[in-house]
Amino acid sequence: MDDFLFNKEEYLNRIGFTGEVSKDISFIKAIQHAQQLSIPFENFDICLGREIKTDPASVFEKCVRHQRGGYCFELNGLFLQALQSFGFQARALLGRVHVSGKPTGRSHQVSLVTTDENYWILDTGFGAETPPVPIPLVCDQSVLFEGEKYQLMEDAHYGYMLRKMQEMKWKNLYSFDLNYVCQADIAYGNYYTSTNPHSFFVNGRIAALRVKGGVVSLYNNTLKKKIAGSEEIITLDEGPSYMEILEKEFGIFLDAKYTDLKPVG
């Protein structure tokens, strides 16, 4: 595993990127968007009782060569590999999720990227609410994309808080600091998130994929399509048709039967 080399051509083919490669923020924006449109956020290996591996070779094999998705440790792990392979100064950060109102442990991975003395937070793995563009590491500065508004603010306890405007109010998504993160830190967070019986990812089936003009997401048997300002909610049936929806809506092709999935709690 230690001699693994990131294959840039395979990665760009996987995300469907055919533009020019450059060393500026426009290229970062382009591949971030392309990855979000191509590689789904999903936890179905956990639903099948399989181990989630976060070493670079395993992440590349799963998400690129086997054309699967993953969750933050996999998707942002892959994106960090891509950024570094294209010559960007980038490193992992770990954050706490605040969506429920109570902070979690350090269970969310993002990337910090430096370009021309500017700092950016990059994320490709926060489900349906993944920031769709780089977020400048500047507090109280709103970032807009297709009607979505994100903003960083300083937090006395947690460093920085990323929040999103929702129904005319700011919603806290996750906090993070700039402390150094090693591979063992990621392994610890990943192990808890993928195995602890109280983990959100152990207790539900989850998927999300950005599409043109919006996001398609899944939680257990509820499929939501938020596109161009409208929302459609569909309740999925149990059985083989569920697997067909995974393939059709998210491009998730599982080498397993529906009955192999953990039952919905």
CA distances from 134 to 31, 68, 102, 200, 201 (A): 11, 24, 25, 26, 25
- Domains in the chain: how many in total? 1
User: Is 2 part of a structural domain of the chain?
Assistant: no
Q: Express each pLDDT in 164-175 by its tens digit.
A: 999 899 999 999
Residue 197 has pLDDT above 70, yes or no: yes
User: Is 33 part of a structural domain of the chain?
Assistant: yes
Range of the domain at 161: 8-260
**Token digits of residue 223:** 């499929």
User: Is 265 part of a structural domain of the chain?
Assistant: no
Q: Express each pLDDT in 78-124 by its tens digit.
A: 999 999 999 999 999 999 999 999 999 999 999 999 998 899 999 99
pTM: 0.96
User: Is 210 part of a structural domain of the chain?
Assistant: yes
User: Is 17 part of a structural domain of the chain?
Assistant: yes
pLDDT on residue 2: 63
**Token digits of residue 137:** 């590491």
> Token pair 């960090």 is at which residue?
80
Is residue 27 a contact partner of residue 86, using CB atoms and an 8 Å limit? yes
How many Å apart are CA 140 and CA 152, to the nearest integer?
6
pLDDT on residue 135: 98
pLDDT on residue 3: 82
Residue 1 has pLDDT above 70, yes or no: no
User: Is 22 part of a structural domain of the chain?
Assistant: yes
Q: Express each pLDDT in 36-54 by its tens digit.
A: 999 999 999 999 999 999 9
Mean of the per-residue pLDDT values of the chain: 96
User: Is 245 part of a structural domain of the chain?
Assistant: yes
User: Is 3 part of a structural domain of the chain?
Assistant: no
Is residue 218 a contact partner of residue 205, using CB atoms and an 8 Å limit? yes
CATH of the domain at 190: 3.30.2140.20
